Structure 1
Amino acid sequence: MKGKNEEQVEEETRLNKFISHNSNYSRREADKIIEEGKVSINGTPVKNLATKVKPDDIVRIGKKIIKEDKNRMYTVIMYNKPKGELVTKNDPQGRKVIFDSLDKKYKHFMPIGRLDYSSEGLILLTDSVDVANKLMHSKLERIYKIKVNGEIHKKVEEAMLNGLELEDATTGAHEKSKIKSMNFEPFIAYQIISNNKNFSKLKVAIAEGKNRELRRFFGHFGLEVMDLKRFEFGGISLNNLPTGKSRYLTKDEYKDLRLFLNENE
């Protein structure tokens, strides 16, 4: 059991996080108004950026009281994963993991889904178990750009349109994977960008995030996935975020995320 003081510490929230989660200020903007002395707690102006807010504190920006939005007391960030990093906390083989590149303040965050070692692109991470679970198990659209070492023929298109059930879905899987069979739902959409015998490029949208799903799907047709990049998840897009960099969600992205979470309570 935890003592009273330990529970209280867990409930405290860093001031800039409290402001950014419950107002229209970003964390950077929150830091600025704190340093400018525009923020007070229980009537006392605060300029220390390390200040924590307790549940019963009254926080004001100027004369306006900032009330806690229970639906938004979490943080979600986006990371543009490069090839050659694992989406895990640590690797027994000593390979590089995403947390080697991310700022140490994100070390307790949970990745929402996975991209394998050779894949790149958008990874969402959060400090909320509930948010992570709801997004991971959602049917939200995931959009990828893919390059395969061959031609996208009619049977591949038919499977993208109608779905596919495989007893043996091991081609394209990791050699140590225990998942042998797999059911692939119809793709939400696909666009063939180039198509020839040497290699083809396409953009696909799917609503699942199974283990090496796309590598297994195309592997069944003798097509090795040479490049795979996820650039959108649930309407949240990489846009111009450089490889190896991270950012917080925007106000609009948080708004859309809250709507989704509220609808899926």
Structure 2
Amino acid sequence: MKYVGEAQETPTGAPQEELATGERSTRNRVARSILDHGPSTVADLAGRLGLTQAAVRRHLDALVSDDVVEPREQRVYGARTRGRPAKVFALTDCGRDAFDQSYDQLAADALRWIAEREGGEGALVAFARARMAAQAGAYREAVESAAPEKRAEALAKALSADGYAATARSAPVGEQLCQHHCPVAHVAEQFPQLCEAETEFFSQLLGTHVQRLATIAHGDGVCTTFIPKISHTPKNSKAPPVSTPSKTTDNASARTAGRNPA
């Protein structure tokens, strides 16, 4: 949810879709005014935005319902005047997060500092692997509790719960794990070690070599990982067990993360 736009309220009699758009735009202006000026009274907002107090109250009711703003008692400095202090409206944490933040820049600055002070490429790889290890529990539980042929789908559901909007679909001789959103894409664009560690983790988790075909951080529309079909030998079969991927193979796969294959 982004609070942007400066359109005026839609005139009475406009089509329903236009009316809804105008309502959202004005509501965005109310939230933006609180962001720019701090906790504000209904009168403050009405004066700044050129709206009636009744209109401001209506938009504030909707923003409170959406957990974007919250009412507070206005702080009074010095001697109190008669009567109750005016109520002010302030942004909630959820409302503040709806505006553009500098978290990506902060994360990039932190990783750059780690690289410069703590050992360059090796330190970044160590950090990226530690980050994946910290998230591994829920993913491992989801995958290990699923039937072998459902593990890619189980991983996709676990990733979706963390905001990656992931799906799994059949592909020739295997499956494709598609992540339609990446919360760290802007940082991963500068530090591909994050993508490489994720690819390496998927390989370890699924017990097979995987190949990263595309990433959002590299400019692709979707992060796509190819998972080859794993043969499951029946218990009574004399066929040799499927060999685990070698360390060299895993490393080679990780190095392709963030890059389309040639």
Task: Pick the structure with more strand per residue.
Answer: 1
Rg (Cα) greater in structure:
2
TM-score range, shorter chain: under 0.3
Q: TM-score, normalised by structure 2?
A: 0.24
Q: TM-score, normalised by structure 1?
A: 0.24
Q: Which has the higher contact order (CA 8 A, sep 6+)?
A: 1
